[in-house]
Structure 1
């Protein structure tokens, strides 16, 4: 009886991570737990403070977008995209990921608000990017297989695929790709991988395992990372992704296998 229950729970979790159906809808080295790849203590959360912080970031994004549009040389535009990368990573690391941490995972979770309701793994990826200011079709992309989701966020040049690697070897491969923000696709799961300048590697995701919540944890010891097939999309290195985010351009959906 116990084995049957565990099997059903695990199967539900696996299916829920990339085929959900439900209601529509920093660059500087950090010596803290967040920068080392170690699990982090859950931060306090205030909805008004969270949304005020998002508005402040959006003002900074719009100001930077204005500078980008006024730039008269390729070098100046490239510099603006570099600043955009730092701003986006700072927003996710300091505000968005900590706010969502502790939010419950559920098979049909589609919450728009941290610490309220529940959120599935694909919805966590698309909702946090939406909170950061990326214009994307949150529900459609959240329902796709993780590789389809990644291919809609970044181009092939920034995607790396791995088969049959041990967890430790995969983490070393991710470190070798360099610091930044990655969207991670597993056999039955979607997540963020955050590689720090000091080499720390965190997995940030809504997990059906362990606490059954959104967590930021060391990738090397994450119980959700084992997978026969893994896909990494380094969105923070892709100038097209950064340009879409900076200028507020909407992302079109391509190759969707699951419709609304």
Structure 2
């Protein structure tokens, strides 16, 4: 189904690039949030987990992100992506100059900054020793991740998540990232940055 949907967006892209990216952005947001990630809720966490099937085996935080992106149709090696530090994973999705990085921020300050620069959408987040997604919806931050604290894939308010506490945060846009959406439409390969 995703392959057929991508063909639709690719044909639209050839005639109306802006409309194709706008429509595909909404599609990616909805598909990831409502159709792909929910199947993973409750899947057991393990530091070395790398299952490709929701609720069948275990999954680490990096593999949760890379596998769900792969299932969404992004052209990437889920193993190579998952084995990177959060900053490199973020750079697979967005150029370093466009990433948002914060150090030693209170949650309140971080939330205010994110709501100033980002719209409702799904974002990748890399932390000191963890990765996941942040959903910004109506100015609230939700953390979607394979939790080493609760030992499962879950969604929770970021403010209440022990796993969201970090000295360092790096954010990459996903559903609002026009270059990434175009890469998805065109099935371009996302590679680990070499420098």
* Short-chain TM bin: over 0.9
Q: State the match for 1:29 in structure 2.
A: none
After the TM superposition, which of the residue ranges 245-254 and 141-150 deviates more from structure 2? 245-254
Q: State the match for 2:155 in structure 1.
A: 216
Q: State the match for 1:65 in structure 2.
A: 10
Deviation at 1:157, TM superposition (A): 4.3
Q: Give unmatched runs, 5+ long, in structure 1.
A: 1-54
CA RMSD of aligned residues (A): 1.4
Q: State the match for 1:249 in structure 2.
A: 188
Deviation at 1:183, TM superposition (A): 0.5
Contact 2:124 2:133 survives alignment (8 Å): yes
Residues 186-236 of structure 1: CA distance to partner in whole angstroms, max 9, x if unpaired?
00001101112x222211000100x21000111111111111111111122
Q: State the match for 2:34 in structure 1.
A: 94
Contact 2:183 2:189 survives alignment (8 Å): yes
CA distance in 1, matches of 2:54, 2:29: 18
Q: Give unmatched runs, 5+ long, in structure 2.
A: none
CA distance in 1, matches of 2:57, 2:194: 30
Alignment match of 1:183 (pick from 117, 124, 128) = 124
CA distance in 2, matches of 1:163, 1:252: 26
The correspondence of residues 37-52 of structure 1 with structure 2, limited to 5 A, is: none
**Structure (1 or 2) with the greater strand fraction:** 2
Q: Based on CA coordinates, which of the two structures has the bigger radius of gyration?
A: 1
Length-normalised TM-score, structure 2: 0.94
Q: How many residues align?
A: 194
| SS of corresponding position for 2:74 | coil
| SS of corresponding position for 1:187 | coil
Q: State the match for 1:82 in structure 2.
A: 22
CA distance in 2, matches of 1:202, 1:62: 31
Q: State the match for 1:200 in structure 2.
A: 140
Length-normalised TM-score, structure 1: 0.71
Q: State the match for 1:21 in structure 2.
A: none
Residues 34-92 of structure 1: CA distance to partner in whole angstroms, max 9, x if unpaired?
xxxxxxxxxxxxxxxxxxxxx2x4322221111112x1xxxx21111010100000101
